[in-house]
Amino acid sequence: MARRLAEAKSLAVAARYRDALIIGCDQVAVGNGEVLGKPGTREKRDAPAARPIGKRGGVLHGGVRAQHLGRDEPAAAWSPAASLSAGSTTETIDRYLAREQPYDWRGSAKAEGLGIALIAKMEGEDPSALVGLPLIALSICCKSKG
């Protein structure tokens, strides 16, 4: 899903430019085996199905696609960004939600700012994907192009 969304974003931008480097990326959050959306509000975030990241852990996946239009074929990479495990208390999560209001982030998972306090352990190939742009995956795309 992350790769497909990254490709769709890059193709939408590429339609408007003839000779440009186009980079598209996206992230997908998974918790309890379900893809988590952007809750939009605190009420929707507090629904039981929307709570896995921060309390029980979850996984963020990143996809990136790069192409220099008019010069080469696109390159894409997939990054299982981070497996997050957290031992956060309800109080810590509530404080994070009140201050950061991360309701436009998938699963309300935002590592920037106070969100980093919810992460007890991170495993993955590309920790930069945790904040949105998987730089290692992007580097792989660019290297594959020479």
pLDDT tens-digit profile of 10-26? 888 888 887 788 888 88
Residue keyed to tokens 């000779």: 19
Q: Report the predicted TM-score, pTM, of the whole model to 2 decimal places.
A: 0.68
Contact yes or no for 123/117 (Cβ under 8 A): no
User: Catalytic: which of 26, 46, 72, 104?
Assistant: 26
Contact yes or no for 114/96 (Cβ under 8 A): yes
CA gap 88, 117 in Å, rounded: 8
pLDDT bin (cut points 50, 70, 90) of residue 56 is low
Please, what CATH class does the domain formed by 2-144 belong to? alpha beta
> What does the pLDDT read at residue 49?
47
CA gap 87, 133 in Å, rounded: 26
Residue type, 34: E
pLDDT digits 0-9 by tens, 88-115: 777 888 888 888 888 887 777 777 778 7
- Catalytic-residue membership of 126: no
Instruction: Provide the strand spans (E) within the chain.
Output: 21-31, 34-36, 58-68, 75-85, 121-123
Q: Decide which of 91 and 131 is more confident.
A: 91
